[in-house]
Amino acid sequence: MKKLLFGLMMTLSLTAPMSALAQEGESSSGLYIKIGQASLKKSLMAVPPFQFSGAPGSASSGVAAGKTLFDVFKNDMEISGFFDFIKPDAFLEDVSKIGLKPAPGEAGGFKYDAWKQIGTEFLVRVGYRMTGGDLAVDAYVYYVPQQKLVLGKSYKGKSSDVRVLAHTFSNDVIKALTGQPASFLSKIVVSRSTSPGVKEIFVMDWDGANARQVTKHGTIAQSPAWSWDGRMIAYSAFAYHANQKTRNLDLFSYNLDTGKRFAVSYRTGVNSGAFFFPDNRHMALTISNAGSPDIYKSTLDGRTLTRLTRATKGELNVEPAVSPDGSKIAFSSDRTGQAMIYVMNADGSNPKRLTIAGRYNSTPAWSPDGKKIAFAGADPRNFDIFVMDADGTNMQRLTSAKTAAGTMASNEDPSFSPDGRHILFRSNRTGKFQLYVVGVDGENEHRVTFDNHEYFKPRWSPSFD
């Protein structure tokens, strides 16, 4: 994935450097928003319509590009959870008739007082133009209380890259205001229904756009996972074995740069639930060839295998999740009678039970800093997303929703964003399992996908880009 994005960035930079063309006046006085305090008080942001300037012949395509720019940026800002937005009917200036920069420095520019009167903290002003298939964007963010330019940058690329430009601007805004990176250029890998009885693996932007099917097994492909460099995925699929005339749940890896697929583990039985180690040379997975499903560590070619758990009474040890530093593995096991979350050392030693409540706890996921673990817990019938400290303390429920029929919905399969501020999950509250995100504090929940497909085991990419 990184190679693909690097190629795109190079294409854009041939037109003009994408992230630092016309920087001017970036604030160096400190942070405007402190992470952790935004939920107590959100900042008021004004985002007037983006202004188009260009040849009359490009007006139609320009309006379409401008709408995409605006919609993507606004959605990113809403998802960030840092802002409340001033309604356009509260604006005191006609934004279509004022410039992107303030008066009196710019003739016809906007007036800070007009925005201060309506409580604006951050004012976003964006202008764009199109020449043929090229798109140029001038973007500014002002801190109104101090009449200060926080961010001023120009972006250039092809009109087909409008979403990349918008997400890049969003990343720059969050970084300028908080000092921390954002995840708006990240990806999702997920198993998605394509026809009755068939699920394939798809990769898409974090916001559900640009979905691309990467498998064509024509059967059930499931449980995808990212390599830590974002260039490979692993997944399982019911592959046909001609010599046995049967299908088996095999584990594959797929290189997103080359499009090549490799069979990693195809031992009789279950070969599933893969999770890459940070060295990108090993993975943890569940194999049932020896009897009950157990967790193993494998090289990426599947030739070197080390057993990490050993079921003695028919119990299940499944869903391994390797910690960001590679030292621990969280997993689910029913060794005490009910499925609970456990953690063990990466070599399988010192297993420790983390959850003690609930009927069924599954699909553990580490936060990027390794300090928290999210999981899905059934209480008593439907699943909800919970998060806890990595030692099992300070547990918090993040989700609770009802279906249209009034029954409790299931919220499953959590995965942290690369910046650790959000959790991706699937929910059947609309009747089908769609994708949603929620803040790690359980606030600011948003739906990501809006279609008639069913989604399974979504995983947020570990990389920001």
Domains of the chain: which residue ranges? Answer: 11-178, 187-460
Q: What is the pLDDT of residue 60?
A: 65
pLDDT of residue 66: 92
Residue 7: per-residue pLDDT? 39
What are the CB-based long-range contacts (under 8 Å, 24+) for 83-86?
83/42, 83/43, 83/44, 83/45, 83/122, 84/42, 84/43, 84/44, 84/45, 85/44, 85/45, 85/46, 85/47, 86/44, 86/45, 86/46, 86/118, 86/119, 86/120
Fold of 187-460: Neuraminidase (2.120.10)
Q: What is the mean pLDDT of each run of 10 residues along the chain (465 residues)?
A: 38 34 42 71 95 70 88 98 97 96 95 98 96 92 97 95 97 96 97 97 98 97 97 97 92 97 96 97 95 96 96 94 98 95 98 94 98 93 96 97 95 98 97 97 96 98 82
d(CA 111, CA 109): 7
Burial class from Cβ neighbours inside 10 Å (0-12, 13-18, 19+) for residue 259 reads exposed
Q: Fold identical between 11-178 and 187-460?
A: no
pLDDT digits (tens, 9 = 90+) for 229-256: 999 999 999 999 988 889 999 999 999 9
pLDDT in tens, 77-114: 999 999 999 999 999 999 999 999 999 999 999 999 99
User: What's the sign of the alpha-carbon dihedral 47, 464, 455, 371?
Assistant: negative
Is the bond preceding 320 in cis, omega lying within 30 degrees of 0? no
Sign of the C-alpha dihedral computed for residues 166, 73, 369 and 448 taken in this order:
negative
The CATH architecture assigned to 11-178 reads 3-Layer(aba) Sandwich (3.40)
Mean pLDDT score of the chain, rounded to an integer? 91
